Each structure stands twice: as C-alpha cells, then as structure tokens.
C-alpha cells in the first residue's frame, strides 16, 4: 500500500520532523495525505481525498475502528491542546469506532470521543465532543463542550455552552445508524485491503469465472432444449411467468440487449443494485436461461431485468422479476401452477383485468377506500397522470420520499391496479399519490393513502388514513364575507381559522411546519407539504392534513410574503398532548 505520508516540515515552532505512525491493519488510500506526528490505530479507514496535517498543531490521534471519509480535513492551531484518553496532550484526538463523514472539518484544538458520528460538511473547532454524540450535517460546533450522548440537528450553530447543554439526547435509532455506518466502512476497509492482495483477489476472480462458465453452460443447454420444442416467438420458461418472457421477447425484438441486477433487502432500500453475469447473446432462449440462472443464484433477493440500448448507452424498461418471499413451485406441481416466479406486476395485471369488466366511472378496489378511488377518478378526468411515492418512518420524518414505478395508464382501472401494486410492495410504509400536470410539469393534490400499521385489506377506509377535502356544504366551515370561512363544527379553532382568513386577505400565502419535542428544543422545524392555493377552504383542509399526520408533535402556521420573500405572524397551533 502506497501512502502519501511525510514528515512534518521544519518550522520555527517545531523541528521534530515527526513521521506518521500507521497500524498495519489500517487502510489509507493513496489519494490521501498524512503529514507529521499522526498516530492511526488498528482497523482505521482513511478514504480518498483526505488531508490530515499535523504540521502546525500536533500531535494527532485517530482511534481504532474509526473511519475518516472522503474530503475530510483535519488540522490544528499551533496553540491549544486537549487531553486525550491516555491523559496526554493532543492538538486533535479522535476516539475509536467514530465516523468523520464526507467533507467534515476537524480543527484543533479538538476532541471527538468514542462511537461518535460527525455528519457531512460539519465543522468542529476548539471544542470537545463527548462519547456517543451524533452531529448531523452542516453543523458548526465552536468553543463548547458537548456532553456525552447528545444529538446535534443538521444546520445547528452551537457556539455557547448554554446551547450545548440544552441539546437533546440521542435515540436508539440514531445509535443504530451510527453503528451501521461504522460497519459499512469496516467492510470497505477489508475490501480495499483485499483488492491490493494478489492472493485474495485471485481467489475471487477464480470464483467469478467458475460462476460465469457455469451460467453459460446452463444457458447453452436450456437453449438447445427450447429450440427443439418452440420457435423464438413462442418461447416459454419453466421458472418465469409469461409476462417476463413476453417482456424479454419485446426488448430483443426492439434491438436491445438484456441486463440483470440483484439486491438484498438492505441494498434494495438504497437502490444499490449489483449486476448479474452479463448476457452477450441476443437469442431469447439464451437470455431466458441467463435470467433463470441469476434468479437461482440470488434466491431470496430482489432481481430485475432491463433493456440496454447499446447505441445511446442507456437502459430502458426496468422490471422486477423476483422479490424476497416469492415461492417456487416444486416439480410435482400441477401444470396450472407451473414453476415460475411471479413478479408483483403480474398481480397488478390480474387486478387490471378484473377492473376491465366495469365501466370507467364505477371502478372499485378491495384495498382502497371509495375516497381514494374517487380521487383517482377526479384526477384522471381533469387530464392528470397519477404518481405514487413511498417512505419508511425515518424517510417520512425528513420528507425523503422515493418514487414507485411510474403509472403511464390513463384508464382508471389500470391506475388503481398500479396503485394497489405500490401499496402491496411497500406495506408497512407511508404511500402517497398525487396528480401530475404533464404540460405545466407540476404536481397537484397530494394524498397519503397508506401509513404503517394500516390493515392492507382496506387502505384508506379510516379517516386517519386518507383525507378528502370536504365539500363546501358539509365541511364544518361556512362561507362568510364573500370568500372567508368561519367554523361551524370543523376541527380547527375559530382563532386559527380567523388567522388564516387574515393572512389570505392581506395577500400572504400560508405555510405550515412541524417538530417533535427534540427538534422543538433546537428550533429545527420541518415543512409540511407546501400550500399553493389561496382559497381559505383548501388552506384549512391542508392544515388539518398536517395536524393529522403529525399528531403528538408541535405544528405552527405562518404567513409568507412572496414579494419580499419573508415570513410573518408565526403561530403554534398544536402541541404534544393537546
């Protein structure tokens, strides 16, 4: 391993010419620089582009199992020291099993304890971070001591000890996340070391070659069997559904090559797919054989196929053909339930067929409430396409939604079937739908149709699961003064409704934010869905949705002056327990 490490340069304050000391089990990427009196412990990962310079302030210490990620800068002032765990003086001390993530700056004098997480682009200067602290992204911590086990939200500026003492404690999910990052980087360290070891990498290449040769052998045998019994246009498979076989045939007929990828449950959530053995053939029999080999090799994982446009070097028409839990029929199964994996799209197709017997305006669903079905019908009738997104509990809190498979259908039955497919695929998560104005390239009328804990047999049937803005005659608010609305039994207090009316009458838009108890202490509010309407009734409906989604949290509304781009008249309209 070639490490860009060098002695500290001679300066008026130091002529020691100290060299870095790096444990033999650590991995330091060749694109990183380590200068001066730096001690790096066992099993440490120093990623590319890192600069650790003990040429002014020194010495530095990096504890065992810690990872210093891409672009991190560690430096120190000539004056100022911290006391390390060994009771010696250091310019920078970083404990064990700690993550200093991308582009962070640790500037001495600084102490970072064990089991800490320092988020992207955060800065630590002249401070002491206790064991087990979680510092999220873009935070500044200066001239303070953070007590052990505290959580620093993204964007925080902590420059007084009073602010540091008020920080909330970390939660179990934060600790789990930090440990997960350490585990991932430990695997990367082992992988990098293996890549530089000829014996290690040779054994892996041998294994890959054997797998590839076995796959080709199986593919050729299957090709011969298929070519003897069927022509290419009538190709069938003992393991694949007719929809998958048809998809392969269509892609090949259009001149595309076929690619395949697989991912376990964890990699699937982060879209970190890995490629199966490449298929060079353009014969359908060979492609089906290769696809079956990939499915067999990665049983219990997600597997998807896609077309490859070799001329424009792009991929088209992705399709998931296996999910964890898919059952494979045994050889003794009857012909009516032949040996194949059934992707979720096939269930959607069957639902679509059953809907096809009904007319457009009377489509029904076994999983969706009548309100959701009605919303789909209204959006399609107005010329919008239907979009769907999903998020687990953690992503929901940060509004980091992920897109479900796109719905191209303009028929109500097909759209409902696709929506049900998204619900089934992401059961136990939040799912929301919305309209897509393809001309204006904007989204309209968002609606959450599933939440964790919903009974999958009747999604959206309970009021807390789906919200349909009520009609003017039944919503509990009556129109007064030619457009303002007064409460007549609605869920919002009269003073809140009055404030909404006042803000709108003054030409302001209305915004809404929420925060749990921990984020409320640090004034780290998060925005609810944006309210683009200026109609009081629609604004009130959006407020009620935000309140329902974040029950048990703080919620506040405010006015937005779009001309001067400022906010006015903040009011907390909900508190935990009220």
Per DSSP bridges, beta strands 38-40 and 21-22 are: parallel
HSE-up (13 A, CA, CB side) for residue 442: 5
- State the Cα–Cα distance between residues 284 and 288, nearest whole angstrom: 6
- State the Cα–Cα distance between residues 528 and 515, nearest whole angstrom: 10
Q: What does the pLDDT read at residue 64?
A: 95
Identify which of 295-299, 329-333, 453-457 has the greatest average pLDDT: 295-299
Identify which of 219-233, 234-248, 511-525 has the greatest average pLDDT: 511-525
Three-point CA angle 402, 403, 406, nearest 5°: 175
- pLDDT of 5 > 70? The answer is no
**228: alpha, beta or left, given left = phi > 0 and alpha = psi -120 to 50?**
alpha
Between residues 89 and 248, which one has the greater pLDDT? Answer: 89
The whole-number average pLDDT for the span 459-481 is 42
- State the Cα–Cα distance between residues 506 and 83, nearest whole angstrom: 58
- The one-character DSSP state at 337 is G
Tell me the two tokens of residue 513. Answer: 């934010």
pTM flag (> 0.85): no
Q: What does the pLDDT read at residue 460?
A: 47
Domains of the chain, start order = 4-191 (2.160.10.10), 223-342 (3.30.190.10), 345-450 (3.30.190.10), 477-574 (3.30.190.10)
Identify which of 111-115, 197-201, 300-304, 543-547 has the greatest average pLDDT: 111-115
According to DSSP, the residues that pair with 129 across neighbouring strands are 112, 146
Provide the percentage of residues in the chain whose pLDDT is more than 90.
28
- State the Cα–Cα distance between residues 550 and 60, nearest whole angstrom: 45
Closest to 38 in 3D by CA, of 278, 30, 46 = 46
CB atoms within 10 A of CB 407: 21
Q: What does the pLDDT read at residue 73?
A: 97
According to DSSP, the residues that pair with 322 across neighbouring strands are 303
Provide the annotated active-site residues: 56
Q: Are 377 and 413 in contact (CB under 8 A)?
A: no
**pLDDT one-digit tens code per residue, 313-356:** 778 778 888 888 776 533 333 333 333 344 443 333 333 333 33
- State the Cα–Cα distance between residues 337 and 501, nearest whole angstrom: 61
Least confident of 69-73, 298-302, 486-490: 486-490
- State the Cα–Cα distance between residues 52 and 93, nearest whole angstrom: 12
């Amino acid at each position: 391993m070639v490490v860009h490490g060098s002695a500290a340069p001679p300066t008026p304050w130091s002529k020691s010419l100290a060299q870095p000391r790096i444990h033999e089990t650590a991995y330091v990427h060749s694109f990183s620089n380590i200068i001066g009196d730096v001690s790096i412990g066992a099993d440490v990962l120093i990623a590319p582009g890192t600069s650790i310079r003990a040429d002014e302030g020194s010495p530095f210490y990096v504890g065992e199992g810690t990872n210093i990620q891409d672009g991190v800068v560690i430096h120190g002032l000539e004056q100022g020291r911290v006391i390390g765990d060994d009771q010696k003086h250091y310019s920078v001390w970083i404990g064990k099993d700690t993550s200093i993530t991308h582009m962070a700056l640790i500037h001495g004098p600084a102490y970072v304890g064990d089991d800490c997480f320092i988020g992207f682009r955060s800065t630590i200067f002249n401070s002491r971070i206790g064991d087990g602290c979680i510092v999220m992204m873009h935070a500044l911590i200066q001239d303070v001591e953070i007590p052990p086990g505290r959580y620093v939200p993204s964007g925080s500026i902590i420059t007084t000890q009073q602010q540091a003492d008020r920080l909330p404690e970390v939660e179990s999910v934060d600790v789990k996340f930090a440990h997960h990052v350490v585990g991932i980087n430990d695997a990367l360290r082992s992988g990098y070391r293996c890549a530089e070891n000829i014996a290690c990498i040779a054994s892996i290449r041998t294994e890959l070659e054997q797998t590839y040769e076995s796959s080709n052998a199986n593919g050729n045998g299957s090709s011969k069997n298929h070519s003897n019994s069927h022509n290419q246009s009538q190709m069938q498979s003992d393991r694949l559904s007719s929809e998958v076989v048809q998809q392969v045939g269509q892609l090949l007929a259009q001149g595309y090559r076929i690619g395949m990828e697989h991912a376990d449950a964890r990699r699937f959530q982060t879209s970190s797919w890995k490629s199966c053995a490449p298929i060079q053939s353009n014969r359908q029999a060979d492609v089906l054989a290769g696809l079956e080999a990939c499915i067999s090799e990665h049983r219990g994982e997600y597997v998807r196929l896609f077309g490859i446009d070799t001329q424009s070097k792009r991929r088209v028409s992705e399709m998931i053909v296996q999910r964890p839990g898919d059952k494979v029929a045994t050889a003794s199964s009857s012909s009516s339930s032949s040996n194949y994996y059934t992707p979720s799209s096939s269930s959607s197709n069957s639902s679509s067929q059953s809907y096809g017997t009904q007319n457009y305006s009377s489509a029904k669903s076994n999983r969706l409430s009548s309100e959701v079905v009605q919303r789909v019908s209204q959006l399609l009738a107005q010329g919008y396409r239907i979009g769907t997104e999903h998020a687990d509990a953690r992503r929901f809190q940060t509004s980091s939604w992920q897109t479900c498979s796109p719905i191209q259908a303009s028929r109500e039955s097909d759209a409902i079937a696709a929506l049900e497919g998204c619900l089934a695929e992401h059961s136990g998560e939040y799912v929301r739908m919305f309209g897509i104005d393809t001309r204006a390239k904007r989204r309209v009328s968002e609606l959450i149709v599933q939440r964790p804990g919903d009974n999958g047999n009747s999604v959206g049937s309970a009021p807390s699961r789906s919200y349909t803005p009520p009609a003017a005659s039944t919503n509990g608010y009556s129109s007064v003064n030619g457009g303002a609305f007064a409460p007549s039994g609605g869920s919002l207090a009269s003073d809140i409704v009055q404030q909404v009316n006042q803000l709108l009458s003054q030409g302001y838009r209305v915004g809404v934010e929420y925060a749990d108890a921990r984020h409320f202490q640090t004034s780290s509010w998060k925005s609810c869905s944006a309210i683009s309407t200026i109609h009081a009734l629609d604004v009130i409906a959006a407020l009620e949705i935000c309140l329902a989604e974040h029950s048990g949290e703080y919620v506040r509304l405010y006015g937005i002056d779009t001309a001067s781009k400022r906010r006015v008249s903040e009011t907390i309209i909900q508190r935990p327990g009220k």
